[in-house]
Amino acid sequence: MQRPLILKIFYVVIFAALIIGLAVYLYLNLISADSNVGENGDAKYLDFGGTHGRRQVILKMNGKDGEIGLVKSLTRSCSSKISGFEKSGKIDSLINLGENFNVIEISGLVGAHSENRQYFYLDSNSCPKPIGFVKNGNRAYNIYSDQPSFSMLDFNVDGWQDIGVEQRNYDANPILDGIREIYLYSPNSKEFVYQRLENYKQEEVCPTCNIEIK
């Protein structure tokens, strides 16, 4: 009597393991096969380090709107809405803004030549939260450039990466002359705050721009 019972338990365990394995396989492949991800969106594994670790990030698009989601487990995930894109977007990378504070960079084309970008950090529950851009009391959650060109640089030398959003200067020579809007990152409020406008020449290359974690 004892031997058949052990065999039954063994078969039940094997069967349960196969079911779980199949569920994981189907779950991951259904995400990869999602048309909103494969054609218009994106999916990547990113290593946030610290308590968040390596996570799967999923970008789904539906017209100009969409959402960025993070898979926490087989049955749990959380997401945040995005907007301002034109039907498609992609997950660029993780960017270290300072003190190992890593943010997700998302980009997508806007019009023929412009590019839109948004940034997200993970809160204490490992859920993506948008980083705002504040200018003259107004807050937006995306920023765009008609170059397109963005400079990630510590403009005020406080140990945190800021962002310079670069546009063509149509009042001068748009091929050579540009205008750069400087947004300084505030770690306390977790937002980029507009500081100043400056002119620059297109041939001037910033050697420390676009600092990324591969």
pLDDT tens digits along 52-101: 888 889 998 887 778 899 887 777 888 898 877 877 889 998 999 999 89
Nearest to 110 by CA among 55, 158, 167, 58: 167
Cis-peptide into 187, omega within 30 deg: no
- Positive or negative, the CA dihedral 96, 98, 100, 101 is negative
pTM (predicted TM-score): 0.76
The reported pLDDT for the residue numbered 204 is 56
- Regions in the chain scoring below 70 on pLDDT: 1-8, 10-11, 21-39, 174, 203-214
The reported pLDDT for the residue numbered 121 is 94
The reported pLDDT for the residue numbered 128 is 93
Which DSSP category does 141 fall into?
S
pLDDT tens digits along 193-205: 999 988 877 765 5
